[in-house]
């Protein structure tokens, strides 16, 4: 088959500028051929090279005494959790593929992040996800446009399309995670018009390993053989990295339908077990998954990390389709494939393990001392490129940044034209039934969140908690037969059946993912600080101390100066907040070009944070526990220095008034950190029975969720009432009191006899605190200076629990 002639149009189709093409010619000292052009196009895409965002990423805090593998070093960061154990975790996006093929796009997003974790030598033990879609119910802000939208889409409303994407993505995540056998323990789902046609699917995975089991993705050892393991390479996923680095339009989606990979979770399970068993033999010199950019990325990156070269012959690569070209083989992103560099002389062990797990494998090349990635096909060279220049020296751009014009109106907004609520009872019902706030049980009941029996706090509380136990860890090093003959009953404590030392220490890890993108849209710097503060607050509510963070930066086209300004300012806020909470960034993902013909998505810097809970008795959940307990608020009832009283960018303004505007609540990082320290101190003292942070919907929603969110069995809620007294709060709008989203607030419950002691202790710790009321009864009652408000808990639970299911009927 004849390669096409390289023309300016072909170069443009590959997402390369004339200047970048000139740089490629300088690197090669000649014109690239078609295969080399494709290789450069994927490796120099934003998805792989971060050419528009790398200078900003360097401003993140990435150092900590606990960090064993830092950001950018390998496929995932690794943090020490004590007793010789460590955790590997990372979050990545699969946005464009999920917009085109929601089921497979989401499924392969889960598969890809799982591979990033076991590539590090860790056994994956749980996953979480962060999802964004257009509205699945008609909202105030779009009701006037609904009929026009239906006509414009030939009779299919945007809501119907959003439901299809939502259903497909959730099914894809459930399929891959459930079949692979990993619990999906937490997540978040937001619905907003800016995500119509461009959903966000951010997948996170966490794994566990011992310090000595850390694996590296470097092609070490000149002459070492290079093995390919996993299913044959096909034409699915072709140039997926390049597809993810361009604007998403209906035309590009249709053209790139083949850029969406097809996943096989059962194959991935076999690949993982084989790789972990192989890593225990010391036969592996380097290992890398074939994720974005497939065989291209895995070969050039492993060589670049080691400062070596690599040579492969594509004729040896298993191929699923006949007559595949070198271009197709190198750029394919077929799933569940790994590249493994083996110590020379250990090939028989490698083949034995792959055959044991019934996996396809092939020896495809060797490590060289040339510093070049040389690709042959039946002995003929089809690509010859300096590995380090390809992998690490993509062009870096400092894009123009300009403050968006819309922010002038945002800052000018006041409450003068917004009447105070006349129906607070109805407003709370509306907020609890808004899919963004409502229970996400329709989503997580499709996930197996109990597989492997390590889940301590299931989906539905502020943060998930997972227990790391002995069988969470990868197997230890293989022993010679003479050490394997002991009967299990004669083993010494701390040994397994192979006589290997194992840790008998159990650990409790909390994790959460968060992002209020509306805040970031209205104030990228303050909004991004609030994102980190909220996720850290959720960990504190569970009893955890932050260990580290991973982020997924989802934005529109960086060539737009206003979009790049959003990115720059929010990275500044994220970095400042991560420093404040001592939660360094261990890695993550940048996903740009997220926009549809109607415009860009709201800037969505998703942050996943992981924390450690020292003792099982410190694990805390959000729901009230016992009748008669005192309900306390840590933090100010309202920030009176905020002209909008916490209503700027609030769920209340969006849902009740159809407005997404106003400066969001200020985030004082010093005050927030003091709150977390005080909350953990109270939890450690044993007096806190429940803790729930105030976020979307404000104080009223937080208290209501504490009354209705406990599930004691499937479809069996435990409803417990509360009586709240806010009558002493004078001269304040009722909507701000109930639904304002002032930062740095947590609702806790404690034994009634301990309430005064807790309030005194909070004062000593420098945190404002007040008694709100008492747990008990069958209703939620809130007394205000203007009268008493009452809600039936069964009705509130029904609205909150079934909102998404009703929308999806």
Short-list 506, 488, 489, CA closest to 498:
488
Q: What is the pTM of this model?
A: 0.92
Cα separation values, 257 from 105, 200, 241, 249, 291, Å: 10, 17, 13, 12, 18
Asked whether 576 and 530 are in contact (CB, 8 A), the reply is no
Query: Residue 233 has what DSSP assignment?
Result: B
Position 795 confidence tier, pLDDT thresholds 50, 70, 90: very high
Task: Kindly tell me if the per-residue pLDDT of 258 is higher than 50.
Answer: yes
Instruction: Measure the CA–CA gap between 103 and 212, rounded to whole angstroms.
Output: 37
Instruction: Measure the CA–CA gap between 403 and 336, rounded to whole angstroms.
Output: 43
pLDDT at 157: 86
Asked whether 200 and 341 are in contact (CB, 8 A), the reply is no
Task: Kindly tell me if the per-residue pLDDT of 251 is higher than 80.
Answer: no
Instruction: Measure the CA–CA gap between 776 and 779, rounded to whole angstroms.
Output: 8
Q: How many CA atoms lie within 13 A of 69 on its CB side?
A: 28
**What mean pLDDT is reported for the chain?**
91
pLDDT in tens, 731-763: 999 999 999 999 999 999 999 999 999 999 999
Percent of the chain with pLDDT strictly greater than 90 = 86
Dihedrals φ, ψ of 48, to 5°? -100, -35
The residues annotated with a catalytic role in the active site are 47, 94
Query: Residue 317 has what DSSP assignment?
Result: S
Dihedrals φ, ψ of 621, to 5°? -120, 170
pLDDT in tens, 284-341: 999 999 988 889 999 999 999 999 999 999 999 999 989 999 999 999 989 999 999 9
pLDDT at 475: 83
Instruction: Measure the CA–CA gap between 256 and 264, rounded to whole angstroms.
Output: 21
Asked whether 587 and 113 are in contact (CB, 8 A), the reply is no
pLDDT in tens, 402-452: 999 999 999 999 999 999 999 999 999 999 999 999 999 999 999 999 988
Asked whether 219 and 367 are in contact (CB, 8 A), the reply is yes
CA dihedral 668, 71, 454, 121 (to 10 degrees): -170
């Amino acid at each position: 088959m004849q390669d096409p002639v390289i023309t300016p149009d072909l170069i443009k189709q590959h997402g390369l500028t004339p200047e970048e093409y000139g740089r490629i010619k300088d690197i090669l000292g000649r014109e690239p051929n078609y295969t080399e052009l494709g290789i450069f196009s994927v490796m120099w895409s934003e998805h792989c090279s971060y050419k528009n965002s790398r200078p900003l990423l360097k401003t993140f805090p990435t150092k900590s005494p606990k960090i064993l593998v830092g950001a950018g070093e390998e496929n995932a960061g690794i943090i020490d959790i004590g007793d010789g154990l460590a955790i590997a975790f990372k979050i990545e996006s699969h946005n464009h593929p999920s917009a085109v093929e929601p089921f497979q796009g989401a499924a392969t997003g889960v598969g890809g992040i799982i591979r990033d974790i076991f590539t590090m030598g860790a056994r994956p033990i749980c996953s979480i996800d962060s999802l964004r879609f257009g509205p699945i119910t008609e909202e105030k802000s779009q009701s006037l446009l609904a009929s026009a939208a239906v006509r414009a889409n030939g009779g299919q409303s945007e809501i119907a399309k959003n439901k299809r994407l939502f259903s497909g993505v959730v099914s894809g995540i459930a399929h891959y995670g459930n079949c692979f056998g990993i619990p999906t323990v937490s997540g978040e789902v937001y619905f907003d018009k800016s995500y119509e046609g461009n959903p966000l699917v951010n997948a996170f995975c966490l794994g566990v390993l011992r310090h000595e089991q850390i694996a590296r993705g470097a092609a070490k050892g000149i002459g070492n053989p290079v093995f390919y393991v996993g299913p044959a390479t096909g034409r699915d996923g072709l140039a997926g990295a390049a597809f993810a680095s361009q604007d998403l339009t209906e035309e590009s989606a249709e053209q790139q339908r083949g850029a969406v990979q097809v996943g096989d979770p059962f194959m991935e399970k076999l690949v993982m077990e084989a790789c972990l068993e192989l890593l225990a033999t010391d036969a592996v010199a380097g290992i890398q998954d074939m994720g974005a950019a497939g065989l291209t990325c895995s070969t050039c990156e492993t060589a670049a990390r080691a400062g070596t070269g690599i040579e492969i012959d594509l004729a040896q690569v298993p191929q699923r389709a006949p007559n595949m070209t070198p271009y197709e083989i190198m750029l394919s992103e077929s799933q569940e494939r790994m590249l493994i560099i083996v110590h020379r002389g250990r090939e028989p062990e490698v083949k034995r393990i792959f055959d044991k797990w019934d996996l396809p494998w092939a020896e495809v090349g060797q490590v060289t001392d040339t510093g070049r990635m040389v690709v042959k096909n039946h002995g003929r060279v089809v690509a010859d490129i300096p590995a380090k220049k390809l992998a690490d020296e993509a062009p870096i751009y400092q894009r123009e940044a300009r403050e968006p014009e819309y922010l002038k109106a945002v800052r000018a907004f006041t409450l003068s034209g917004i009447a105070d609520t006349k129906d607070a009872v109805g407003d709370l019902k509306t907020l609890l039934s808004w899919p963004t706030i409502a229970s996400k049980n329709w989503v997580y009941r499709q996930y197996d969140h109990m597989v492997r029996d390590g889940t301590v706090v299931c989906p539905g509380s502020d943060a998930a908690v997972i227990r790391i136990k002995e069988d969470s860890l990868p197997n230890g090093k293989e022993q010679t037969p003479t050490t394997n003959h002991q009967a299990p009953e004669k083993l010494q404590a701390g040994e397994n059946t192979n006589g290997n030392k194992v840790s008998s220490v159990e650990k409790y890890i909390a994790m959460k993912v968060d992002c209020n993108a509306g805040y970031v849209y209205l104030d990228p710097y303050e909004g991004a600080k609030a994102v980190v503060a909220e996720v850290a607050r959720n960990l504190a509510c569970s009893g955890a101390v932050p260990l580290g963070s991973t982020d997924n930066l989802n934005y529109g086209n960086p060539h737009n100066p206003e979009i790049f300004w959003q990115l720059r300012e929010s990275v500044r806020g994220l970095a400042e907040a991560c420093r404040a909470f001592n939660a360094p960034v261990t890695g993550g993902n940048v996903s740009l070009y997220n926009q549809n013909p109607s415009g860009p998505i709201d800037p969505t810097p998703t942050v996943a944070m992981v924390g450690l809970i020292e003792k099982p008795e410190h694990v805390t959940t959000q729901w009230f526990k016992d009748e008669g307990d005192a309900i306390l608020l840590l933090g100010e009832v309202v920030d009176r220095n905020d002209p909008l009283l916490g209503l700027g960018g609030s769920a209340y303004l969006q849902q009740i008034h159809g407005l997404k505007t106003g400066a969001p609540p200020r985030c004082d990082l010093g005050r927030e950190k003091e709150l977390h320290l005080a909350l953990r101190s109270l939890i450690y003292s044993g007096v806190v029975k429940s803790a729930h942070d105030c976020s979307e919907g404000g104080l009223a929603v937080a208290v209501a969720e504490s009354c209705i969110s406990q599930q004691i069995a499937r479809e069996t809620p435990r409803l417990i009432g509360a009586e709240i007294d806010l009558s002493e709060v004078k001269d304040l709008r009722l909507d701000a009191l109930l639904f304002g989203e002032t930062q740095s607030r947590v609702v806790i419950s404690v034994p009634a006899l301990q309430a005064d002691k807790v309030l005194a202790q909070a004062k000593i710790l420098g945190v404002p605190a007040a008694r709100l009321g008492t747990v008990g009864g069958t209703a939620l009652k809130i007394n205000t200076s203007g009268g008493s408000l009452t809600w039936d808990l069964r009705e509130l639970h029904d609205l909150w629990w079934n909102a998404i299911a009703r929308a999806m009927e």
